[in-house]
Amino acid sequence: MNISDRPIGIFDSGVGGITVFKEIKKLLPGENIIYFGDTKHNPYGSKSKDAVTRLSTENVRFLLGKKVKYIVVACNTASALSLPFLKKIFSVPMSGVIEAGAKAALEITKNKKIGVIGTRATIESGAYLKALLKLDPKLKIKSLACPLFVPLVEEGWAGSKIAELTALEYLKIFMEFKADTLVLGCTHYPFLKPVIGKILKKTGLIDSAAETAKAVRKELEQKSLLRNNTAKPAYAFYVTDGPARFKKVGSSFLGYNIGPVKLIEME
């Protein structure tokens, strides 16, 4: 197989990376894509750096076994804690989602007050804080871990009353802070956009998926890895647990049946 015909690999701790899959598919409609969700070990956001790095390393090895040409670390926690290590030990080109989200937030904010929500591990890593202040040291940033959001999305409850009440409790500090921009620092959180937007009506919501897709296209262009084959692209989905639940939530978000979701065994 010509290397440019090989698929793009995307991995996440669960269904959240479907938001990134959607944007890459939209921006690069000719590309083959393999999606891997480590649903057995979800959520990553409550795990240690060592655990997340070990799991992320196994995820990359799985995707390399599928002969991918590029890997997108669609999990914010894995991007924050493991991406530098992954880039050091693997030669396959790869990118995360943190810098893309920070760049998008800077482009939108008017009052320089940016909120960031994410998993505990992502927030405690300070990855978004560092990325944002590197772009503009004058920014005022308030960060908050929202650990209940991921299980709500994984259970398919993103539009429920429970999700709304949970979001209201988490997000009131950003109303007090007067943030005009909120970074959804977890790929699961865009599933909650309608609920979050209802609470923070005047706040711009940033998910890094679209910016990540742009970064992927740019790097594939630079490395002459864009697929030129006119044959219909193929998409494959793999998970480590709960394929039926993944299919239901993923299909609901994308608005079409994603087809078979294959279960694989990983320790």
Active site residues: 75, 186
Distance CA 101, CA 123 (A): 14
Q: How far apart are CA 95 and CA 113, in angstroms?
A: 27
Q: What are phi and psi of 183, to 5 degrees?
A: -85, 120
Euclidean distance between the first and the last CA atom of the chain, given in angstroms as a whole number: 30
Query: How many CB atoms neighbour CB 66 within 10 A?
Result: 14
- Taking residue 54's Cβ as centre, other Cβ atoms within 10 Å add up to 15
State whether the Cα torsion 81-83-84-90 is positive or negative: positive
- Alpha-carbon span 244 to 201, nearest angstrom: 34
